[in-house]
Amino acid sequence: MILFIQIMLLWASIANVPVADSRGLPKPLPPRAIVINTGALQTDNYWLFVLYQDSDEIKVIRGKLDDLTKMLQGDPQYDAWILSYGGKRTCAAEAKQRAESAKEYLVDKGISPQRIVVLDAGFHEEWVVELWLVIHGTPGPTPNPSVKPETVRIINRTKRQRYKCHKLKI
C-alpha cells in the first residue's frame, strides 16, 4: 500500500496534478494511473470524475466544473458526459436544464461542444449531476436512476408556488 501511495504521489508531481482537493480529500486519478480493481463507477473506457448536488454552493459547483475543464484540456482523449438526475419533486425538464447549464459553462471555458454529451438520466431522491470522463469514441456510462418516474411529482410552476425551478446560471 505504501508503494502504491508513493507511485500515486510521483505520478501526481510529474503530471502536475493535485492529489488533494480544497478540503484535503484525495482527488480521483485517471484510469491509467489506478492499479486497483475497478468497481461500478469506473471501467476501462469511462470513470466518474465528480458529482454535484443541491447542497453544493455555486462556487463549489464552478470549482468542480473548472477541475473537469482542466482535465479535458490536458488530455484530449477524454470527452465529458454529463448525467443529470431530477429529484423526487422536480419541475418539468429540470434535469436536462441543469445538464445543459453545465455544458454551457464548459463550452464557455473553451471545451468543444462535440466533446460533451448531455443526458437526462432519470430521478434520484434529490437532484444530482454526475460528471464523467469517457475515452473518445467509446460507450459511456448507463444512467442509474433510483426513483421510479411514476413516484416523481412534476411541478408546474405558478406564481403562488414556493418551489424554485432550475434557473441556475453556473
Write the pLDDT tens digit of every residue in 20-76.
555 555 555 444 433 333 334 667 788 999 999 988 899 999 999 999 999 999 999
pLDDT at 24: 53
Q: Where are the domains of the chain?
A: 1-34, 37-155
> What is the model's pLDDT at position 156?
73
Q: CB–CB of 127/53 below 8 Å?
A: yes
pLDDT computed for residue 170 by the predictor: 76
User: 3-class SS at 49?
Assistant: strand
Give Cα separations from 91 to 85, 96, 117, 146, 164 (angstroms): 12, 11, 22, 18, 8
Across 122-135, average pLDDT: 95
Q: Which fold would CATH assign to domain 37-155?
A: 60s Ribosomal Protein L30; Chain: A; (3.30.1330)
pLDDT single digits (tens) 79-123: 999 999 999 998 888 999 999 999 999 999 999 999 999 999 999
Q: Is the pLDDT of residue 128 over 60?
A: yes
Which residues make beta-bridge pairs with 132? 48, 81
Instruction: Give bridge partners of residue 89 from the DSSP assignment.
Output: 153
d(CA 147, CA 59): 28
